[in-house]
Amino acid sequence: MTRNASRVLDEYLVAAAQTGSRPALNGLARRWTPRLLRHARHLLDADAAARDAVQETWLAIVRGLARLDDPAKFPAWAFAIATRKCADQVRANVGLRRARETLAHDPALAESAGENVAPSESAALRRALARLPAEQRVVVAMFYADELTIEEIAAALTLPAGTVKSRLFNARKALKQMLGKEAR
């Protein structure tokens, strides 16, 4: 794992928060809430549910932070908690989830429903990503947007690393095929 300045800062904030530093915990929350929210949005396809899941995630992080034995493992640990909280949301709202999946499978409907998309993303890429199966979309987002390693994604999603690699490979292959067809 490469330890760039951002990772070192996260490790420092985790270690300081574990000793009871509120400013460090606040700094950690400022740095990680957008990442966890993006992850939850990929899993839940609903902004309000994603915000609720991230709020529950932070409650669990605060309660369990003292038990995290290695600050370098915080990214995978935090994403694993967020993934479980999103699963809780899904179980709690099965009927709403079916409606969201219908929107996710129809990019035209999703865009008309006001789905939040970063302005720098192209419309073709958004449409192609929306057509990927949810498990592939999540892995692509964690790898490219959140810059997690295969091992960190595997730990966060409680999957074997080989499964993560194969989902990422299949997602890339599908995206290339979909984007190639749209370019013609």
The DSSP output letter for 69 is S
Least confident of 61-70, 73-82, 104-113: 104-113
More confident call, 16 vs 88: 16
Asked whether residue 131 carries a pLDDT value surpassing 90, the answer given is no
Both structure tokens of 106: 């129809």
Query: What is the total count of domains within the chain?
Result: 1
Angle at 124 between CA 96 and CA 107, to 5 degrees: 20
Range of the domain at 164: 5-183
Q: Which CATH number covers residue 77? A: 1.20.140.160
Q: In degrees, to the nearest 5, what angle opens at C-alpha 104 toward C-alphas 132 and 47?
A: 115
pLDDT value, residue 2: 60
